[in-house]
Structure 1
Amino acid sequence: MSCRSLRDYITAASLRASFERHLGRKFEREVQLKPHHKPYEMRRGWAEVLAKFAESEPECKKKEDEPVLYFRRNVQLSETREQQIVTFCSRALEMLLIDARSSLFLDRCPMTAERSAELAGLGFAMDDGGFDQKVHTVDWLRTHLEDQLPTRMSDVIRGPMLLGKALSGFNELESRVVESWKKGSAILKANGVDEVRRHYLTKLRESTPCYGAAFFRGLIERPGISPLNIKKVFNYLLSGAPDTEVLVGVNSEFITIIDASKHDLLLVQKIRDCTWRKLIYSSEEIRKGHQHLLFLSFPDEDYIKSRNEFITGKAEQLASMKMNILHIFSSQTMLLNAMLNSVKSAIKEEDDLVAEELSFFLAYSHMYYAPIIVLKNTCLRHPPPVC
Structure 2
Amino acid sequence: MDDSALPLAVENVASVTAQDLHRTIREALQLPDVAVEAFALWLISPFLEVQLKPKHQPYKVCRQWPDLLYRFTDASEDDMATDEPSLQFRRNVFFPKRKELQVNNEEVLRLLYEEAKFNVLEVRYPCDAEDCEKLGALVCRLELGPYRQGQQTACAVKEKLDSFLPAHLCKRPHSLFTAFRSRGPRLVPGEQGLLSAYQEVKEEAVGAEAELLTRHYRAYLLKCHELPYYGCAFFYGEVDKPAQGFLHRGGRKAVTVAINLEGVHVIDIKEKHVLLGLRFQELSWDYTCSGDDEPILWLEFDGESEGTPVNKLLKVYSKQAELMSGLIEYCIELSLTREPPPVPETKVGPPAGPGPSQRHKLRRQSSVVCSRLQHLATIDYVDDGKEIKRVKPKRTTSFFSRQLSLGPAAYTAVQPADSLEQG
For residue 215 of structure 1, what is the aligned residue in structure 2? 234
SS of residue paired to 1:81: helix
User: Aligned-pair distance for 1:275?
Assistant: 1.1
- Note the C-alpha offset of 1:219: 0.6
Q: Distance in 1 between matches of 2:139 and 2:243?
A: 36
Counterpart in 2 of 1:65? 83
1:342 and 1:163 map into 2 onto residues whose CA distance is 58
- 1:136-175 matches, within 5 Å, as 136=152, 138=154, 140-155=156-171, 166-167=185-186, 174=191
Whole-Å separation in 1 of the counterparts to 2:58 and 2:339: 33
Q: Percent identity?
A: 25
Q: Is the 8 A contact 2:299 2:315 kept in 1?
A: yes
Aligned residue pairs: how many? 297
The change in CA–CA distance for 1:157 and 1:146 in structure 2 (over 3 A counts) is: farther
Question: 1:1-387 counterparts in 2 under 5 A?
Answer: 1=6, 27-54=46-73, 57-85=75-103, 87=104, 89-136=105-152, 138=154, 140-155=156-171, 166-167=185-186, 174=191, 176-184=193-201, 186-187=203-204, 190=207, 191-206=211-226, 208-223=227-242, 240-282=249-291, 285=292, 290-300=293-303, 322-352=310-340
SS of match in other structure, 1:116: helix
Task: Check the 8 A contact 1:138/1:166 in 2, yes or no.
Answer: no
Question: Corresponding residue for 1:377?
Answer: none
The Cα of 1:328 is off from its aligned counterpart by 0.4
Maintained 8 Å contact 1:247/1:259: yes
Please state how far the C-alpha of 1:146 moved relative to its aligned partner.
Answer: 1.6
Aligned-pair Cα RMSD in Å: 3.6
Q: Distance in 2 between matches of 1:61 and 1:115?
A: 37
1:178 and 1:105, CA in 2 relative to 1: closer, same or farther beyond 3 A? closer
- CA distance in structure 1 between the aligned counterparts of 2:83 and 2:191, rounded to whole angstroms: 42
For residue 385 of structure 1, what is the aligned residue in structure 2?
none
TM-score by length of 1: 0.67
Post-superposition Cα deviations, 1:119-170, rounded to whole Å, max 9, x if no partner, equal 1111100110011112445555444322212211334999x899995247x9
Runs of 4+ in 1 over 6 A off after TM superposition: 160-164
SS at match of 1:300: strand
Instruction: Report which structure shows greater RCO (CA 8 Å, sep ≥6).
Output: 1
**Cα pair 1:71 1:99 within 8 Å, conserved:** no
Q: How far 1:99 sits from its partner (Å)?
A: 1.2
AA in 1 matched with 2:199: K
Contact conserved, 2:300 with 2:311, CA < 8 A, in 1?
yes
After superposition, the Cα gap between the structure-2 partners of 1:107 and 1:340, relative to the gap in structure 1 and judged at 3 Å, is same
Closer, same or farther: CA 255–188 of 1 in aligned 2, 3 Å: farther
Give the Å deviation of 1:343: 1.1
Worse overlay, 63-72 or 333-342: 63-72
Distance 1:43 1:221 in 2: 33
Change (3 A) 1:174 1:218: same
Query: Counterpart amino acid of 1:148?
Result: F
TM-superposition CA deviations, 1:275-310 (whole Å, max 9, x none): 11111134xx2xxxx4211111112279xxxxxxxx
Hey, what's the Cα distance between the residues in 2 that align with 1:70 and 1:179?
A: 35
Tell whether the 8 Å contact from 2:285 to 2:300 is kept in structure 1 after alignment. yes
Q: Distance in 1 between matches of 2:56 and 2:265?
A: 27
Q: Shift in Å at residue 45 of structure 1?
A: 2.5
Unaligned 5+ segments in structure 1 are 7-22, 226-235, 303-318, 359-387
Bigger Rg, which one = 1
Q: State the AA in 1 paired with 2:50.
A: V
Q: CA deviation at 1:112?
A: 1.3
- Give the residue type in structure 2 aligned to 1:132: R
Letter matched to residue 335 of structure 1? L
**Equivalents in 2 of 1:177, 1:46: separation in Å?**
42
Distance 1:48 1:140, change over 3 A: closer
